Each structure stands twice: as C-alpha cells, then as structure tokens.
Chains A and B, each alone.
Chain A
Amino acid sequence: MASPPRPVRAAPERKTPVDNPLDNMDRHFIARGAVRCSTPKFLLWMAPWAALLVFGLYSAALCLIKGLNQTNMDNRFAFGLWIFLDLTVIALGAGAFFTGFLLYILKLDELRSVINSAVVIGLVCYSGAVCVLAVDVGQPLRAWFTFWYPNVHSMLTEVTFCISCYLTVLAIEYVPIVLRNRKLRQVPSFLVFEFELHKLIYVLAGVGTFLSFFHQGSLGGLYGVLRGRPFAFREGLAVWPSTFFLFIISAAAVGPSFILLTTWLVQKITRKRLVRPEVLQLLGRISGSLLAVYVLAKSIDTLIWINRTSPETGFQAWQYYSWKPFGTWILVAEIGVCGLLPALMLLAPKLRRRTGWLVSGAFLACAGVALNRFVLTVQTLALPTLSFDRFLSYTPSWQETGTFLAVVAYGVLVYSFSFRYFQLFPQERELKLEARQVEEERELVGRY
C-alpha cells in the first residue's frame, strides 16, 4: 500500500518590499505574473543612461543653437557619424516591419513571442534616427518644405515621406502595448480602444511592410544614384540602383538578427527566460537565409561594379582601395567575415542550437550591415574624385559623439521602461510557470 503523499512544501514566498511606498505603488503597474527588480534597483539602472541622455541632449542643443560648426563635418565630409548612425539603426530596426510581416501576413505564429519587443526596438530606432536627422540638417524648421515642395526625383524625398509615415505606424503599433499595461487596463475605454486598435494590426503590418520596403530601399538609393561619386554609383532596374534592393535585403536579414541579439541580451541582464530557444533559432534561420541571399546579390553587384560600372565612369575600382586605411580588407570583411560567415553559422542547424554560435552569428550579421553603411557614408566621401584633390579623413567631434550616444541612451531607457511595465515577451509568464513546475517536480522526485 502506497503511503499517502506528503504535503508539498510551499515555494518560499518572494519578499515584496511593501515597506517602500514607491515600490508598493510601482508594482501595480508591472504585468501580472512578471517579476521585476525593485524600484530603487531599476532607478539605479536607469540613472547612468539618463545622465548620458542629458549629456547627449546638451551636445545636440549646442549644434542646434550654435550651428553645425560644432561638428567636425565640413564641405567635403558633408555627412558623418550621424548619417552612418541613421542608416545603421534604421537597418537594425527593420526587425519591426519584417517580424510583423512574417507574423501577420505570412502567419509565422512562433514570432508572436517577440513581436512586441520588435515593435519597441523599431520605434526606438526610427524615432532616434528622426531626432538625429533634425539636428543634422542646417535648417530643421524647414523640414516641412519637403512635403510642400517635394522633388519626386530625389531619393531623400522618398526616405522622408516613408520614414515619417512608418514612424506614425510604429507609434500606433506601440499604443496597444502600452494600453495592455496592468493598471491602464482598468480603464474600460482604454481596453476597448486597444481591442479596436488591435483589429487594425493586419492593416498596419501590411502598410508598415510596404513603407519599410520603400524607405529601406530609398536609403540605399541615396548613394546608388550618386553618379558623381563613382565609388557609390550603381546601375539598376528602372529608376532604382542596385543598392536600393541590396538595402532592402540586408535590412530584412539583420532585423531578425538584431531582435535575436537584444532578446538574448535582455535575458542575460535580467537573468530570466523570456522566449523559448526555438524562437531564437527560428530568428537565426530566417536571418541566415536572407543573409545568404544578400551575400550572393552583393557579390554579383560588386563584380558588375568592378568590371563595368566603375570603369565606364573613368575610375578603376582598385584605385578606391589604394587609399589607406580603406584597403581591400574592408571588402573582404563586409562580404566574407560579416556576410558569408554569419550566414553559414546561422544556417547550420547544429551551430544554431548552440547559443554562443547563434549569438555570434547574429552579432556578425549586424556588424556587417553597420560596416556596409559605414563604407557607403564615410568611404564614399573620403575618396577624392578630382585628380588634384586629396583623400580626407574625418573624426567626429564630442558634440557629434554626444548626440550619437544620446540615441543609444534613449533607446536603452525606452526599452527598459517598456520591458518593466509592458508585456514585451508574452511567453515570459508561461516559461516562468513551466520553470516552477519543473522545479517542483524535481523537488518531488528528490523526496521520493
């Protein structure tokens, strides 16, 4: 006869810092079932980033008030760190539109567990880029001129229109995430609004995908159409140079990688399981597949450029790489080390199952796209076109760097805030319960 099971010992209760009134108030905003650090600890985490943001805002204010003479850009280096940052964050933020496309249009339901996080990342990246652009232009108050006197032949007009529209879409997509907050849900009208808004999500995903395809492409087109800069100029289809298509593919490839990377990082920092490993592996597989397509397309494009496009404009491609430090190593790094290698790493199922390889592959993919944007922005402008002109170098000023860091700090702050108060990872609660169940089972097994 089996002995009656002993009563299961209750799990030790987590200490709630009810004595701290701030904590007591704060915990009502945290999603039910989610465990977050204490309020003082959270504020301690936010403080250095807030300080960095203040420093960055001061730098940006100097540029706005005193003018762009505060930067180290000049008549030759008309673009610098900020444009590089814009191009890179917009590519990395592409995860928002691409995940939305895969989830809502292609019905890849596994990605539901990261979609909220992807939306926040997208919003941070795009809004950060727009803010930096506002500092970067000489007359920010004239930004509306682009809508009033648009030059339909300019890639920058396309970029401005699409980014403005897509940022609005992202803001609308962010609203339901905010309204699902535990406290805000108590307001019935918010709940209804969120429900109604959520019905639009498929439309928003479709519109977002359409807009993103165009602005990612037109960002590439910005350089590809520069027939006066043979290093950047590319042939293409109709009015679109090849860089238009390469930017779309590369952004779609690294978007999932960046979500993978940030999710892994958040898991590490918070020491919590937020998504199932299979989701990260799926993101890696998607990223790897697209990266492989990108590497192939980029290689073909480079060969055409070396053998036809560039020589036709009077420039032999090898000449570009004779100006140090931009040797051929940069081409090898871009296509090989940060293109082909991560594609193989992310495509191999065995490697993908190991977190180290998966994360390294995603990191290399992101680094590759950043390098590509750097090359197009900085190398293009550094290279002389006139035979009697010099090769120039450029180092950003502290004001430029400060403004750059402000975007990073802003991103961390918004993401941290969203992670604490909104449900960015719907699987978190489920995984926590599973973990507790496993723990209890282990305990039971240990007892008997």
Chain B
Amino acid sequence: MISANKQIRAARYGMTIDVDRCNGCGACMVACSVENNVPPAHEGATDRKGLTWIRVYKVDNGEEYPNRRTAFVPVMCQHCGNETPCVHVCPQQAVDVDPSTGVVGEMPQRCLGCRYCMAACPYHARYFNWWDPAWPAGMEKTLNPGVTPRMRGVVEKCNLCHGRWHAAKEQAAAAGKPDTEPVSYVPACVEACPTGAIHFGDLNDASSATAKEAAEPDSFRLLEKLNTQPKIYYRSKKDWVRGIAAAPRPGGAGKENSRG
C-alpha cells in the first residue's frame, strides 16, 4: 500500500527499437497477438482488414541492386505524449492517457466503433474488429486469462501489455511495494524479440537504459514535426533509415513495400 505522504512520480513508459537489429522475423507480432488475445485472421481478411497491434514494415533505400538496402520498422501505437490525436477525437471517452504511466489506453467496452480515432492516427496503428473474434477449436484454451478479448465492431491497439502491467502492480502490492517504482514488467514483444532490438522502460527515469538510448543522437521518432511527441523511439546509424521519419515521398517516386 502506498503511504499517504509518499510522493508519486509520474512515469513515462516508452520503447526504443533498434532498426539496425530488427531482421523482420515477426516474432514480436506473434508474441503480441498471443499475449493480448488478438484472434487469428478471419477467412477473407486482407492485410488491410487484419488485426495486429504491431505491423512490421519493410523499407528500402530506393536504390537498385547492388546498392539496395533494406530495413524493417515495427510500428505499433506510438503512445503520443502531446495532444494525443486519438484521445481528443473520441466522442465517448473510450481512449485515455494514463497520467501515471503515459500509456494511451483503449476501452473496448465503451467504444462505439465510429473509427474517428483511426482516421486521426497518423501512424495507422489502430485496428478495427471487422469480424467476431474466433479461434480454431482447441486454440481458445491458449487464451490469456488476464486480457479480455474484444468484440466485433470496436477499435483496439497496443497498450504496452496492460495485462502484464496490471499483474506487476498486483505483485508489487502483494509484496508491500509502492506500485510506482520503475517499470517492473516488460511487454511481450520486448521479451520475444530474438535480436533484442526492442527495449522498454521509463523515459522519465534518466538512469534507465531506455531513456539513455532515446537520448542518443542516432535515435529518432516518426513524424516528429507533427509534434505528437511519441514515446516510441527508433534507432539507426544509417542516414537513409533515419530519413524515413520524415513526411512521405511524392507519389511515383517511392517504391517501398509494407509487410505486416
């Protein structure tokens, strides 16, 4: 239990993703889906209608062989820290920012399914349940009991493994520790990444590895000029990779493909 006079310090949970380390294996996507009870793709679902809280984009430098270079960019909810675009558009307060962690949360039970938040998100990181969630026979036994599956007609997205965070809080409370101590859990994608490309931590804690990495000169955020101040930082030593953070190339010039 937190004592009454204990100063609660707001955390700012965030991630750093080393693009140079990511090999596009998709383990983060699978781990995320398993952890968060994201149902398998429905028959007839396309890459534009499927559900995945992380989408790994394949990008290249636009050159031809032998100068062609490729990289993979995992994109999930960027947990914008400034005037979060999806929060202020939701008509029924189904999206909020947790002031104690900075995590942008989604309440599927309250979502109307108007999809205005999806239109508002510049990172295309929000997904709609176009079908009723369904798991193949027997597979429902693998569902995570700590996470509620979402129903048809609502929007969902990455919440930095809210279920794990909740479990960590309960453990801390059981051990008599304040629940505001530095991050004591890691999201599933961080755990599953075979190359250790994704790091998670409190960006407000200057001593954390994540905060230090985010402050490195090779780190960048997507569409920084929009001033949404995302809490997901990307890192790369390659100039052309850092260049992808800017606005899109004009039509016809870009040859990028996406994969997810």
By the criterion CB–CB under 8 Å, are B128 and A229 in contact? no
Bound CA span A160–B118, Å: 18
A16 partner residues in chain B, CB cutoff 8 A? none
By the criterion CB–CB under 8 Å, are A389 and B116 in contact? no
By the criterion CB–CB under 8 Å, are A389 and B113 in contact? no
Chain B residue with minimal CB distance to A155? B89
By the criterion CB–CB under 8 Å, are A139 and B111 in contact? yes
For residue B110, CB closer than 8 A to chain A, the reply is: yes
- Check A386/B228 contact, CB under 8 A, given A76-B124, A226-B119: no
A94-136 at interface with B (beta carbon < 8 Å): 136
By the criterion CB–CB under 8 Å, are A138 and B91 in contact? no
By the criterion CB–CB under 8 Å, are B222 and A154 in contact? no
Bound CA span A160–B91, Å: 9
By the criterion CB–CB under 8 Å, are B48 and A386 in contact? no
By the criterion CB–CB under 8 Å, are B88 and A145 in contact? no
Q: Please tell me the size bucket of the interface on A.
A: 35 or more
Bound CA span A139–B114, Å: 8
B228 partner residues in chain A, CB cutoff 8 A? 227-228
By the criterion CB–CB under 8 Å, are A156 and B89 in contact? yes
By the criterion CB–CB under 8 Å, are A67 and B131 in contact? yes
Bound CA span A74–B119, Å: 11
Q: Which of B83, B113, B123 has the most CB of A within 10 A?
A: B113
Bound CA span A146–B113, Å: 12
A146 partner residues in chain B, CB cutoff 8 A? 91-92, 112
Bound CA span A75–B42, Å: 15
Among A138, A149, A381, A388, the residue within 8 A (CB) of B152 is A138
For residue A222, CB closer than 8 A to chain B, the reply is: yes
Among B90, B151, B227, the residue within 8 A (CB) of A154 is B90
By the criterion CB–CB under 8 Å, are A385 and B131 in contact? no
B256 partner residues in chain A, CB cutoff 8 A? 387-390
B197 to A: closest C-beta gap in Å: 17
For residue B247, CB closer than 8 A to chain A, the reply is: yes
B212-252 at interface with A (beta carbon < 8 Å): 222-228, 243-252
For residue B66, CB closer than 8 A to chain A, the reply is: no
Among A156, A228, A318, A388, the residue within 8 A (CB) of B122 is A228
For residue A437, CB closer than 8 A to chain B, the reply is: no
A288 to B: closest C-beta gap in Å: 33
Chain A residue with minimal CB distance to B250? A322
Chain A residue with minimal CB distance to B121? A228
B244 partner residues in chain A, CB cutoff 8 A? 386-388
B43 to A: closest C-beta gap in Å: 10
For residue A153, CB closer than 8 A to chain B, the reply is: yes
B152 partner residues in chain A, CB cutoff 8 A? 67, 138
- Check A384/B248 contact, CB under 8 A, given A67-B152, A69-B131, A225-B88: yes
B166 to A: closest C-beta gap in Å: 22
B76-121 at interface with A (beta carbon < 8 Å): 83, 85, 88-94, 110-116, 118-121
- Check A385/B248 contact, CB under 8 A, given A75-B126, A154-B89, A314-B226: yes
A141-172 at interface with B (beta carbon < 8 Å): 142-143, 145-146, 148-151, 153-157, 160
B154 partner residues in chain A, CB cutoff 8 A? 138-139
By the criterion CB–CB under 8 Å, are B46 and A319 in contact? no
B251 to A: closest C-beta gap in Å: 4
For residue A447, CB closer than 8 A to chain B, the reply is: no
For residue A79, CB closer than 8 A to chain B, the reply is: yes
By the criterion CB–CB under 8 Å, are A67 and B153 in contact? yes
A184 partner residues in chain B, CB cutoff 8 A? none
For residue B13, CB closer than 8 A to chain A, the reply is: no
Q: Which of A226, A229, A314, A388 has the most CB of B within 10 A?
A: A388
Bound CA span A324–B250, Å: 10
Chain B residue with minimal CB distance to A136? B114
Bound CA span A142–B132, Å: 17
A173 to B: closest C-beta gap in Å: 27
Chain A residue with minimal CB distance to B49? A74
For residue B44, CB closer than 8 A to chain A, the reply is: yes
Bound CA span A74–B249, Å: 23
Chain B residues within CB distance 8 Å of chain A: 42, 44-46, 48-50, 57, 59, 73, 75, 83, 85, 88-94, 110-116, 118-124, 126-132, 151-155, 222-228, 243-252, 254, 256-258
Q: A75-B50, A154-B90 are in contact. List 16 more A-B contacts (CB 8 A).
A: A68-B128, A68-B130, A76-B48, A138-B128, A139-B113, A145-B112, A151-B88, A151-B93, A154-B89, A222-B116, A227-B85, A228-B121, A313-B226, A319-B249, A387-B247, A389-B258
A sample of 30 inter-chain contacts (CB < 8 A) reads: A67-B132, A69-B45, A75-B49, A78-B119, A79-B115, A137-B153, A138-B129, A139-B153, A142-B113, A143-B112, A146-B92, A150-B92, A151-B88, A156-B89, A156-B91, A156-B116, A226-B120, A227-B83, A228-B122, A230-B226, A314-B223, A319-B249, A324-B252, A380-B119, A385-B124, A385-B223, A387-B59, A387-B256, A389-B57, A390-B257
